[in-house]
Amino acid sequence: MPLRQCRFCDYNTIEKYYYYSHLYMHISEDTIKLFTDEEIKLCNFYYNKRNQKQAKYRNNNKEKIAAKSKYYRQRMKLGKQENYILIEESDDDIIIEYND
């Protein structure tokens, strides 16, 4: 498989899926003339496919995402005060021990 190099930045990948979903973000009024119709169709197709995959992941993993976002919100509240110890962080759960 050939290495696909983005012509607008230094992004490169082998996968067609990642290349065209990345290239989609470069489409604008100024750059639309630099794309062929086929490239625009592929960009739209792979970008939409990526969004569907992300939505499916979010729907199937709501509890896991909620736990992680709760953990990160707690870290943001603490700011520079490090009064907790992260004991274990896996894909399924996060265990935090607070120092009193």
**Are residues 29 and 19 located together in one domain of the fold?**
yes
> Is residue 35 a contact partner of residue 27, using CB atoms and an 8 Å limit?
yes
| Domain assignment of residue 49, given as a range | 4-60
Reported as a single tens digit per residue, the pLDDT across 46-94 is: 999 988 988 888 888 888 877 877 777 777 666 545 555 555 555 555 5
The overall pTM is greater than 0.75: no
**Are residues 51 and 81 located together in one domain of the fold?**
no
**Are residues 9 and 20 located together in one domain of the fold?**
yes
pLDDT at position 41 is: 93
**Are residues 54 and 84 located together in one domain of the fold?**
no
pLDDT at position 89 is: 54
pLDDT at position 81 is: 52
**Are residues 50 and 19 located together in one domain of the fold?**
yes
- Phi/psi of residue 7, each to 5°? -85, 0
